[in-house]
Amino acid sequence: MASTMKNLLAATSAGILLVALAACTPDVSSGTSTDSAAGGDAGSCSNTIVHPDAPQVSVWAWYPNINTVVDMFNKSHDNVQVCWSNAGQGGDEYAKFSTAIAAGTGAPDVIMLEAEVLPGFEIQNALVDLSQHGADKVKGNFSDGAWKDVSSGSSVYAIPVDGGPMAMIYRADIFKKYGIAIPTTWDEYAAAAQKLKDAGGPFMGDFGSNVPAWFTALMTQNGQTAWNYDSSNPQSIGIKLNDAGSQKVASYWQDLVSKKLVDTQDQFTTDYVAGLANGSYATYVSAAWAPGYLTGAGGAATGGAEWQVAPLPQWDASKPVSVNWGGSTFAVTTQAKDKDLSSTVAMELYASQEELQDGIDTQTIFPLNQQVLTSQSFADAPIAFFNGQKANGEVYIPAENAYPGYTYSPFTTYYYSELTKSMVSIIDGSKTGPQALDDLQSTMTEYAKSQGFTVK
Amino acid sequence: MTAALVTPSSDGLTAARERSRELRRPKPRRNITAHIFLVALILYFLLPLWWLFVASTKDPQGLFTGTGGALWFDKNFSLWANLQELFTYKGGIYLRWLGNSALYSLVGGVGATVLAVLAGYGFAKYRFKGRDFSFAILLGSVMVPLTALVIPTFMLMSQLHLTNTIWAVILPSLLSPFGVYLMRVYAADAIPDELLDAARVDGSGEFRTFLRVGLPLMRPAVVTVLLLSVVGTWNNYFLPLAVLSDQNLYPVTVGLGGWQALAASNNGGGTSLYTLIVVGSLVSIIPLIIAFLSLQKYWQGGLSLGALK
Amino acid sequence: MTNPAAAVASSRAHPDAATKAEATSPKPRRRRSIRRAWIGWLFIAPFGVVFLVFLVAPLLYAFYLSLFSKGLATGTVFSGLGNYVKAFSDPEFLGGVWFVIRFAVVLIPIQMAVSLAAALVLDSLTTRLAKFSRLAIFVPYAIPAVIGTLMWGFLYSPVFGPLTSIFGAFNQSAPDILSSGNIFGGLLNVVVWQWAGYYMIIIYAALRGIDPSVYEAARIDGANPRQIALRVKVPMISSALVLILVFALIGTLQFFTEPQVLKPIANGAITASFTPNIYAYNLAFQFSQFNYASTISFALGIVVFAAVYIFLFTTRKRRGGFSS
């Protein structure tokens, strides 16, 4: 019996190994060319090196089309080659980066980071100030708002790649069926939600507890200036999360939730996507990357759904405020061996016309580079997801141009985790919106003090 | 599972025992209740697998807005298309992950078993100072959660220039304190000291005695520890996630976890990853289920004989 | 949940096999044993080296880290046991500990009941269905926890899962398992599903090791099958049960993977300090507090040690001890 067992196992394993070998063989050539890599510990490349003699810069990034972009970059640069690997998506990559910072080794030269986590890594001295390495050359490629997101005082900690100017995606077919006019203010949005419910229609939208960045953007739209922080004075921070404007926003959403006018499903889940696909929601208050996300997530683009996009509703239609949700950048780590060369890569990767066009075509990014944002072809491109609506020119580009930028705190992940708790308490009614924000204000103040900050 | 199954029978009455088992058939009434109970258990334990199989046959739209319900097939049967997409997506990276998993779990499993057999034999058959103390340390070590180890292990690997190589996954997986425990208990019982002494009297060296006398007697436990270690390494998630950053080196668990994160992120891009995750999960559990099917036969045979000595 | 491993070993027949073997060694052989002592070390050395390098050394370093404190805006300072004082008065940590203790108290009896009942039934049947169900119950163990949890996440979903249609058939609305109120039960189910078969097999194997003549004697004394199961079989495998319980306890107190995987779809029900292990993970990798994260890990180790000690102490008192 035992030997039968072993034979079976051996046969199974041999089969697997054969499969493995077959799978590995074609890649051997590209997988081992790491010796000359500038970031030795950061590992082998997942891409092909076109110019083996050029110095290499290691890059971590998770854009779905990054391999295409890297190939384009390497073909067009004979002075430097990118050695790319995907160290995980968002939090997974940050966890690895954090480990490498603690270990003092193992980080790549250039790393993709969302703008919101930049100060958190910067305060650990993990990021290079790119203003010392020629970042001003490319400043003009971006809007002031986008540049503010990656700067602190006179320092620059990353080069923006994509952003998420917010807008309201809506189902034109549902609006038509229930006679809803496109809301331009939040009051109109609430009234439309009530009208939908009274007519037995679907939810107007969704307030999910797992999108604290979304909620932060909406509070910012009503005048919240949460953080007063400058990396040139990193021991000191101002915190203001419970001003009157923010409290109004919190009460507003709690009201919609308690009247069951909006759902409280977590976003980015299959349930939420399915809900968008089957018409459970009339709107999706979201950012410029949302069409790509929904197309990729499957289902949402079909089934007779007529998606359109309109500008984000305003608190005061005469003084519109533009806000941003999401977006990513390239930063240079302090473990980079050649900081100048790495800075060059951070500035030039995903920045050429050709590379950006691939990002647009594959619906991977909403680029922040002005050469795209100002181009007529980008503005006039009909978007398939919106049934041919020229969404960029009509909605997203104006939103991005009006975006004033944001100052993030050096403990964004902790803040988001606490804000999520507040949002849960707003949803389940255990606290009123203003109460939740008051508690959040004191929690964050305590936290900042415990981390050694002077709270202004 | 190993436990009693590798316990050597001390009485040698196994055949008689089996006969007497056959004789004491339960009463039919109890039989029916018992079988209903078993059917309920089968339904419960296989339900998620059935769902996984059904979901693997659906295209993205079927998955999200399908007509068949969660537990039945959609009108479009796209299992083959899904498999094809799975094996070709991003240059067939999935197959590579599967191969990595096989490599890590076989090398790690075999290595862990060799170390455990040697150490278990040493603990069981030799008396020396500090033996009981080191054995207690070994057992106590499981009480500290492994999250404490991630950063120090990462730093250690960095110092050895092993991060982001297959060794960063394989070397730590050579540790199997439970394997050692198991081998010690088994060896103490299954290898009579008299046999070892007889071999030594015949002039056999210590290692040779181990190979010629000890090892053959430990074989059933060896197979069990091997399977346990292989499964343990195959199912490993957080260690490779922490020490690998090149996705060509990922095992299949980390790869699928990455797809899940990608699918749930705002950067999904143009491909629907959910069908790939579902069908990828299905394929990834097949090798181990096959291994366990064969293991089950091994148990059935082994158990009905009382032991495999 | 970590793999509580196979151990349990020859529990029934030889609860103290390892020690017994040496204890019965005749005295004259002693001197030769001592001469061979270094050979014993030699056999242990390969494992010992790996153990020292990949477990003891990292642990010592982690302990060293736990004695320092560092805020985001401050430098690293030696704080001795200060972090431990902080940990044991940290409501986040204590809340997590309270959760895993409650979870263990509910989970372990259910899990034991399911696996013991299944093992007893399987031990008394030899039909094909019994053989098949033995496999079916065990299969979840072969599935990586990450993938098993992902599957249950889909099954819990109102849209993807069958709950809506099942409850709809009775005109009831399906419970939302992925909510603060129900996540406890949702996790309970995943863990029972994943591990019950594994424990069942251990118990089953222990049962198969019992000499059937014992049952014969009980039957002659007039015991019915249920009495035999509860009064004869269960006591005879009690040391196997105690060992399983210890491993289940350790695994549950270190609860990590399942809630971590369900977190993104749990509608905020799984917080950053949901269990102590998740708290340590987030402290280290999300909030960049490596020193305090190490402290939390060791504080959890202390809790686990205390829980196991108390458990063994109470069971020993009641049963006269399982010596191993």
Convert the pLDDT of each residue in B224-240 to its tens digit. 788 888 888 888 888 88
Separation of alpha carbons A437 and A419, rounded Å: 8
CB contact under 8 A, C268 and A423: yes
Separation of alpha carbons A414 and A424, rounded Å: 16
CB contact under 8 A, B294 and A8: yes
Contacts of A270 in chain C (CB under 8 A): 154, 157, 159-160, 265
- The phi, psi pair for A165, rounded to 5°, reads -55, 135
**A contact residues 132-171, partner C, Cβ 8 Å cutoff:** none
Q: A169 - beta bridge partners? A: A284, A309
Q: Is B49 part of the contact surface with chain C (CB cutoff 8 Å)?
A: yes
Separation of alpha carbons A130 and A109, rounded Å: 13
CB A80 within 8 A of CB A332: no
**pLDDT tier, A8 (very low <50, low <70, confident <90, very high otherwise):** very low
CB A162 within 8 A of CB A228: no
Alpha carbon distances (Å) from B179 to A236, A269, B115, B173: 53, 40, 9, 12
Higher pLDDT, residue C225 or A22: C225
Domains and CATH numbers, chain C: 27-66 (no CATH), 81-319 (1.10.3720.10)
Nearest-by-CA chain C residue for A425: C268
Q: Which of B100, B154, B301 sits opposite A103 (nearest CB)?
A: B154
Helix (H, G, I), strand (E, B) or coil at C249: helix
Round the average pLDDT of chain A to a whole number and report it.
Answer: 87
**B contact residues 251-270, partner C, Cβ 8 Å cutoff:** 253, 256-257, 260, 264
| Amino acid residing at A360 | I
CB contact under 8 A, C158 and A411: no
Cα three-residue angle A306-A312-A317, rounded to 5 degrees: 130
Out of A402-416, B63-77, C191-205, the most confident range is A402-416
Question: Mind giving me the DSSP string for B183-215?
Answer: HHHHHHHHS-HHHHHHHHHTT--HHHHIIIIIH
Kindly report the CATH class assigned to B78-304.
mainly alpha
Quote the pLDDT of residue B241: 83
Above 70 in pLDDT, residue C12?
no
Separation of alpha carbons A24 and B13, rounded Å: 52
Q: Is B138 part of the contact surface with chain C (CB cutoff 8 Å)?
A: yes
- Domain boundaries A164-324+398-455, corresponding CATH code: 3.40.190.10
Contacts of A107 in chain C (CB under 8 A): none
Look-up of token digits 């009274």? A198
**B contact residues 89-108, partner C, Cβ 8 Å cutoff:** none
CB B198 within 8 A of CB B135: no
Residue C24: alpha-carbon gap to chain centroid: 34
Separation of alpha carbons A346 and A331, rounded Å: 6
Q: Is B264 part of the contact surface with chain A (CB cutoff 8 Å)?
A: yes
Q: Is C180 part of the contact surface with chain A (CB cutoff 8 Å)?
A: yes
Q: Which two tokens stand for residue B140?
A: 């106590």
Separation of alpha carbons C185 and C240, rounded Å: 27
Q: Which two tokens stand for residue B169?
A: 């996954």
| Amino acid residing at B228 | L
CB contact under 8 A, A65 and B158: no
Quote the pLDDT of residue B206: 87
Q: Which of C267, C271, C285 sits opposite A266 (nearest CB)?
A: C267
Work out the average pLDDT over A163-171.
95
Provide the percentage of residues in chain A whose pLDDT is more than 90.
71
CB A116 within 8 A of CB A344: no
Separation of alpha carbons B136 and B177, rounded Å: 11
- CB proximity list for B79: less than 8 A, separation 6 or greater: B56, B57, B279
ipTM of the complex: 0.82
Kindly state the helix (H) or strand (E) to which residue A254 belongs, with its residue range.
helix A244-258
The number of CA neighbours under 13 Å toward the Cβ of A162 is 27
Separation of alpha carbons C296 and C81, rounded Å: 12
Sign of CA dihedral B130, B136, B138, B141: negative
Q: Which of A40, A43, A273 sits opposite B246 (nearest CB)?
A: A43
Sign of CA dihedral B115, B120, B121, B127: positive
Taking alpha carbons only, the member of A174, A215, A172, A120 closest to residue A412 is: A120
pLDDT tens for residues C200-222? 888 887 887 788 888 888 888 88
Q: A59 - beta bridge partners? A: A84, A110
Residue C152: alpha-carbon gap to chain centroid: 20
Instruction: Count Cβ–Cβ pairs < 8 Å, chain B vs chain C.
Output: 362
**Residue B80 exposed, middle or buried by CB count within 10 Å (0-12, 13-18, 19+):** exposed
Chain C neighbors (3+ CB pairs < 8 Å): A, B
Contacts of C263 in chain B (CB under 8 A): none
Taking alpha carbons only, the member of C178, C205, C196 closest to residue C262 is: C178
Q: Which of A268, A427, A453 sits opposite C73 (nearest CB)?
A: A453
Domain limits, CATH 3.40.190.10, in chain A:
26-163+326-379, 164-324+398-455
Radius of gyration of chain A (CA): 24
Q: Which of A8, A268, A298 sits opposite B264 (nearest CB)?
A: A268
- CB proximity list for A411: less than 8 A, separation 6 or greater: A120, A447, A448, A451, C72, C287
**C contact residues 17-56, partner B, Cβ 8 Å cutoff:** 17-18, 20-22, 25, 29-30, 33-34, 36-44, 46-48, 50-51, 53-56
Q: Is C10 part of the contact surface with chain B (CB cutoff 8 Å)?
A: yes
Alpha carbon distances (Å) from C43 to B118, B124, B187, B271, C194: 5, 11, 13, 53, 35
* Core vs surface per residue A67-91: b (16+ CB within 10 A) or e: bbbbbbbbeebeebbbbbbbbbbbb
Above 50 in pLDDT, residue A288?
yes
Round the average pLDDT of chain C to a whole number and report it.
Answer: 82
- CB proximity list for C321: less than 8 A, separation 6 or greater: none
Higher pLDDT, residue A59 or C31: A59
Calculate the dihedral angle through the C-alpha atoms of A8, A11, A13, A19, rounding to the nearest 10 degrees: -150
**pLDDT tier, C30 (very low <50, low <70, confident <90, very high otherwise):** very low
Work out the average pLDDT over C94-115.
95
Chain B neighbors (3+ CB pairs < 8 Å): A, C
Taking alpha carbons only, the member of B59, B203, B299 closest to residue A298 is: B59
Helix (H, G, I), strand (E, B) or coil at A112: strand
CB contact under 8 A, B272 and A6: no
Q: Which of B95, B103, B297 sits opposite A5 (nearest CB)?
A: B297
Separation of alpha carbons A130 and A153, rounded Å: 13
Cα three-residue angle A294-A295-A300, rounded to 5 degrees: 60
Quote the pLDDT of residue B271: 54
CATH 3.40.190.10 fits A26-163+326-379, yes or no: yes
Quote the pLDDT of residue C240: 77
CB contact under 8 A, A417 and C160: no
Kindly state the helix (H) or strand (E) to which residue B241 belongs, with its residue range.
helix B238-243
Radius of gyration of chain C (CA): 24
Out of A93-107, A393-407, B182-196, C256-270, the most confident range is A393-407
**pLDDT tier, B138 (very low <50, low <70, confident <90, very high otherwise):** confident
Return the domain boundaries, chain B. 78-304
The alpha carbon of residue C70 is apart from the nearest alpha carbon of chain A, in Å, by 8
Calculate the dihedral angle through the C-alpha atoms of C219, C223, C224, C227, rounding to the nearest 10 degrees: -120
What is residue A405's DSSP assignment? -
Q: Is A28 part of the contact surface with chain B (CB cutoff 8 Å)?
A: no
Quote the pLDDT of residue A297: 60
Q: Which two tokens stand for residue C35?
A: 């001469």
Name which of C1, C2, C8, C10 to mutate to probe chain B: the one with the most chain B Cβ atoms within 10 A of its Cβ.
C10
- CB proximity list for A344: less than 8 A, separation 6 or greater: A80, A134
Residue A150: alpha-carbon gap to chain centroid: 13
Sign of CA dihedral C102, C104, C108, C111: positive
pLDDT tens for residues A105-164? 889 999 999 999 999 999 999 999 999 999 999 999 999 999 999 999 889 999 999 999
Helix ranges, chain C (H): 17-23, 30-35, 37-51, 57-66, 82-87, 91-124, 128-138, 145-156, 163-169, 183-208, 213-220, 225-227, 234-236, 238-253, 257-262, 276-285, 290-319
Name which of A86, A94, A161, A364 to mutate to probe chain B: the one with the most chain B Cβ atoms within 10 A of its Cβ.
A86
Question: Mind giving me the DSSP string for A313-372?
Answer: PBSSTTS----EEEEEEEEEBTT-SSHHHHHHHHHHTT-SHHHHHHHHHTT---B--HHH
What is residue C171's DSSP assignment? T
**A contact residues 52-81, partner C, Cβ 8 Å cutoff:** none
pLDDT tens for residues B104-135? 999 999 999 999 999 999 999 888 888 889 98
Above 50 in pLDDT, residue A201?
yes
